Amino acid sequence: MIWLRKTALILHLLRGLATCAVLFPWLGVESRQWHIRRWSRRLLRICGVTVDVQGLQPGQAAPHGAMVVSNHISWLDIYVINCWHPVRFVAKSEIRDWPLIGWLCAQTGTIFIERARKRDAHRVLHAITDVMLQGDLVCVFPEGTTTDGSSVLPFHANLMQAPISGGLPVQPVGLAYLDAATGQPTLAPAYIGELSLLETLDAVLRAPPITARLCFAPALTATSASRRDLAEAARAVVNHLSQGAQQHAVELVVRVNEGRESERSFSEGDVSADSPAPAA
């Protein structure tokens, strides 16, 4: 029954709060990451979500010091990505004031940005660059909002200055949520429109088992001096990945990294004619 799963989620949240309060001050980076990964996997299991990672070789390590860019569909995205490798997310400052959740996010390394203050973007850019240069992974959702996953919105380019300034790679990731039985896209996790967090949670808990597909391509090298060019290239790659067209994404990354892909080609269309069409 759904109330039993909600009870399990509340207990799991309290366990996470206790872990952060009692253990995290005494743990090193690797131990913290182990706890974050395990906690995220348990949360997804309670929600009936399994993660399918594609595009990585068995045992392939996460990049050391990079910006992870992904499309954004649901509040579940954070935990799906953390199941692969715990990262530091960039989030709006309002989340910091959410009861319990805001404190938990702060303890797991979230970098908060005050979107209403344009000057705060400069502070965040420096913070992102610094932690990436120290070897951390920082994840941003450059669409700036959530979608139903059928397409990828244009990427905001401001934060893409950080990997350019640091000479660091950009790791594209494509997210999709599928009905585990049919393999077709499901809207249950989509946190869109006027839906509240609780309404989305109810939809996830009532839905049949869900597969979260996390698809990777090789990293983009931030060789261009233009953050707009880098943002458009990353968006085109993520668009391929979110539709499951991993080979097209790989080919595009190779062309971009070799300087053989023009800005005009990104604006003409992100998915080539022989890529799988987005599901209706």
Q: Which residue has the higher pLDDT, 112 or 276?
A: 112
Q: Under a CB-based contact definition with an 8 Å cutoff, are residues 93 and 111 in contact?
A: no
Residue 245: per-residue pLDDT:
95
Give tens-digit pLDDT for 76-109.
999 999 999 999 999 888 888 877 778 888 888 9
pLDDT of residue 205 exceeding 90, the answer is yes
Q: Where are the domains of the chain?
A: 49-268
Residue 92: per-residue pLDDT:
83
Residue-wise DSSP of 212-275: EEEEE-PPBP---S-HHHHHHHHHHHHHHHHTT-HHHHHHHHHHHHTT---HHHHHH-SS-TTS
- Global pTM reads 0.90
149: left (phi over 0), alpha (psi -120 to 50) or beta: left
How much is the average pLDDT of 244-256?
95
Residue-wise DSSP of the chain: -HHHHHHHHHHHHHHHHHHHHHTGGG--HHHHHHHHHHHHHHHHHHTTEEEEEES--TTPPPPSSEEEEE----TTHHHHHHHH---EEEEEGGGGGSTTHHHHHHHTTPEEE-TT-TTHHHHHHHHHHHHHHTT-EEEE-TTSS---SSS-PPPP-GGGHHHHHHT--EEEEEEEEEETTT--B--TT---TT--HHHHHHHHHHSSPEEEEEEE-PPBP---S-HHHHHHHHHHHHHHHHTT-HHHHHHHHHHHHTT---HHHHHH-SS-TTSPPPP-
Q: Under a CB-based contact definition with an 8 Å cutoff, are residues 204 and 198 in contact?
A: no
The tokens describing 57, both together, are 């070789």
Report the DSSP beta bridge partners of residue 88: 138
Give tens-digit pLDDT for 33-64.
999 999 999 999 999 999 999 999 888 888 88
% pLDDT > 90, the chain: 71
Task: Report the top-level CATH class of 49-268.
Answer: alpha beta
